[in-house]
Each structure stands twice: as structure tokens, then as C-alpha cells.
Amino acid sequence: MKIHALMFLGFTALTAQAHASSPEAWATHDKAVLASCIKASGLKNAEPVGTAAQFDDRVGYTALLLQGQYPQKHMKGATGTELCLYRKKSKTAYVTEWDSIRPADNSR
């Protein structure tokens, strides 16, 4: 009886893991990351740059690079870049400015 219970638990875990990796689950996750990151961003018209970087579950984060315009009047609509880290466990987004990732504009 105990062996059957263990087999059932193992099968249930595998089924749940397979379900979490389905294309639908990834699409839902990607939408949640994008919405949370844009909401947490201070940029106007923020949009993703490329696709999200999915870290291993041991790390627990998804990273997304955003680009948009700084809303402050003195920035005069300058383009800004932010790195967003989305914590999967709490479904919380954290952003930080990351303009250094772009090459310097030497046209000035």
C-alpha cells in the first residue's frame, strides 16, 4: 500500500511539473512578468527589449530589460533603460536603472 502511495505522489509531482512547463503556462508567466515590470517601471511608454531571461527555479527570478522615456521634465523625454527582476515566488517586480548597458551617444 505504501509503495502505491509513493508512486502516486511521484506521478502527481511529475504531472504538476509537466503542466508548469506547458506553452500556456509560459505564456501566462511571460504576460505576468511584462505587466508587473511595466507597472514597477518609472519609464513612460516602457516596452521590453528582447525576451525575458528565465533563471533556474533555484534562483527564482526572471529578468527583463525595459526601455522607455524618462518622465521627469528636466530629462526632456530622454530614452532610459531599466532592468527588471521578477521574483516568481512572490510575483513581485523590482526595477533598477541600467542605462550603462547602452553604448554612449557620441553625437552630441
Q: What's the pLDDT tens digit per position in 66-85?
A: 999 999 999 999 999 999 99
- Could you tell me if residue 81 is inside a domain? yes
- Could you tell me if residue 74 is inside a domain? yes
- Could you tell me if residue 33 is inside a domain? yes
- Could you tell me if residue 44 is inside a domain? yes
- Could you tell me if residue 69 is inside a domain? yes
**Number of domains, the chain:** 1
The structure's pTM equals 0.74
Task: Kindly give the parts of the chain with pLDDT less than 70.
Answer: 1-20, 103-108
Rounded to the nearest 10°, the torsion over CA 13, 28, 52, 17 is 10
**Domain around 95:** 26-101
- Could you tell me if residue 10 is inside a domain? no
Rounded to the nearest 10°, the torsion over CA 97, 99, 100, 105 is -160
